[in-house]
Amino acid sequence: MGKNEETKTWIQKTEQMLKDLGNRGSEIAKSLKKDAQYGTKYGMIKVEQLTLENEKNKLMTQFGKEAYVLMRRKEITHKDLKEPYEKIQDIENRIRGKKVSMANIKKKRGG
């Protein structure tokens, strides 16, 4: 095989390799695009899910506050709610104590 033949063969092999590489690159690009679309869709659904969970938590908090007020007024009673109700009352008493302590410090400081 002469130098020209070897060069031609080398060029043809190189062209084929580049063509194959281009095809693989195109396949990879398509795959990445699909992955990005999947990720975007998944992310959007996840945001919607978290938004709904946040909305639910706000409603549950409001529900709990209203139940607490009704228990405090003795308008409702429920044995399963007694323990959490008493824990909340204890925390409220401790918060009041902290507020009194802070007010006393402020008075001593001259504030």
3-state secondary structure 37-54: HHHHHHHHHHHHHHHHHH
pLDDT at 60: 93
Residue 10 DSSP SS3: helix
Query: How many angstroms separate the CA atoms of 63 and 83, rounded?
Result: 17
76, 67 contact by CB (below 8 A): yes
Q: How confident is the model at residue 111 (pLDDT cuts 50, 70, 90)?
A: low
**Phi–psi pair at 22, nearest 5 degrees:** -60, -40
- pTM exceeds 0.75, yes or no: no
Which segment, 11-15, 25-29, 96-100, is predicted with the most confidence on average?
Answer: 96-100
Residue 5 pLDDT greater than 80, yes or no: no
29 residue type, one letter: A
Q: Report domain extents, the chain.
A: 1-59
pLDDT at 59: 94
